[in-house]
Amino acid sequence: GYQSVSRKFLHLFLFSNRDGEHKIIMSTGFRFLYMVLVCLVLSCGAMVLDAPLGRRAALDRGLLSGVGVMLLNNNPAAAESTYASSLSARCLSDAENVSLTIPTNTIQTSSGIDNFYFPSWIEGEWDVTQTLVNVAIPLGLKFIGGPAASLEVAQASLVETKKQLNIPVNLKLRWIGTKFGVAEDLLYNTRQRIDSFAGRSVVASVEYSDVRASNRAAIMASGGSELDPLATAVVRFKGPAAQKQFLLAHGTEPDPSDPNHKWAGFELLRSIFALTNTNTAPPVTTDTESIWYLENKGNGVVEAKLRLASYLNAQSDSLYFESKNKAVFISDYTLRMTQR
C-alpha cells in the first residue's frame, strides 16, 4: 500500500495498470489522464490522506496537484480576430519553438446551446489509435516543477512522461449530428478516454450538467433533442472522487488549402477534481487547451493531430507571472480513426 501523501509525491500522480504495477506521470499532461490518476489509487483503497490541509499546504505537499485556474479575458470578438486565424499553425508548428498563449474566453452564454462543433464528416463512431509522439517544455524545465518550481520534481516528471512516448492506446470515440452541428458525445468519449488510458474500468458514471451556456432546456426550445450533447459533464469514479469539466473557449477553422477535407479547431477546458469522501482536501482546478487538426482521407479514415497545452495557476504557482500566460507543457498525439 501507499504511505500518507508526502513530499515524495510532490506534483506527480500515481496510477495502477492491469498488472498492478505503478507508474508516475507528469501532472501537466493529458487532461483525461489527470481525471484518472488519483482515482485509480483511491479505487484500490490504497491511499491514506493526511489530516486536513489548507490549499497552499496541500499543493506544496503534492496533494492532487494540477495545472489550475487561469484568469481569462472575457472578450469574444478579440479572441476570434487574434486566435482563430492561426489554429493550424498552433497545432502543427514545432512544439520546441512554438509560443502558445491561453485563449480568451469565447463562450456565448445567451443562447444556451453553445458547444464545440466539429466538421460534418466526423459524425459517427470510430475505432481510434492514439499515440503520444512528442512532449515539450517551451519555457524551460523549472516551469513544470510544481508550485515551488522544484527542478528535482520537474526532471522526474519529464522523464516519466517520456516513457509513455510511442505507446499506442486503442479506444472508441463517437460524434453526434445535431441541428446546430456535429458535437462530441461527451458522455461516451469521456468514459472511453479515461478507461482506455487507465488500462481498466475506473469510471462509475458520466452525466451531463446544465450550465447557462449549454443546457437541455435551451436546446429543446431551439428545436434540438434529448440526445444532443451538452458542453459540461460530471464524472464519478469508482473510488471516492468526482470531476466536473467545463468548456471555456472554442474556435474552428477549415484549412484554406483543402477546406472540404482538412479542419482545425481548439477548445479550452476547465476541470475541477474533488474527493467525495470525508476528507477535507480542497478541490483542484486545471485549464488545458486541446488543439485539433483533422484530415479526412476518405473511405472512412481520418488522420488527426492533437496538441495539448497546459498553463500555470495564478493561485498556486510561484512562476505564474513569469510564465506570462504562456503554455509551460505541450504534448502532441497522433490519431488514426477508422469509421465503424
What mean pLDDT is reported for the chain? 77
- Distance CA(231)–CA(247), nearest Å, equals 6
* Helix (H) or strand (E) run with residue 78 in it: helix 76-83
Evaluate whether 271 touches 288 at the Cβ level (below 8 Å).
yes
Q: Indicate whether 28 pLDDT > 50.
A: no
| pTM exceeding the 0.85 threshold for the entire prediction | no
Extended beta strands in 105-201, E state: 117-118, 124-136, 168-178, 181-184
Q: Give the C-alpha separation, 10 to 23, whole Å.
A: 14
Residue 277 above 60 pLDDT?
A: yes
Q: Which run of H or E residues covers position 79? A: helix 76-83
DSSP-based three-state secondary structure for 137: coil
- Angstrom CA distances, 44 to 5, 17, 275, stand at 15, 11, 14
C-alpha pair distances (Å), 226 with each of 171, 201, 202, 215, 217: 25, 27, 27, 11, 9
Quote the CA–CA distance of 77 and 123 in Å, as a whole number.
Answer: 29
**Three-state SS for 58?**
helix
pLDDT digits (tens, 9 = 90+) for 203-234: 999 999 999 999 999 999 999 999 999 999 99
In tens, the pLDDT along 49-108 reads 333 333 333 333 332 323 222 223 333 333 333 333 478 888 988 888 888 999 888 787
Closest CA to 66 of 38, 94, 105: 38
Separation CA 270–CA 67 (nearest Å): 10
Supply 128's cell numbers: 481510434
Name the 3-class secondary structure at 138: coil
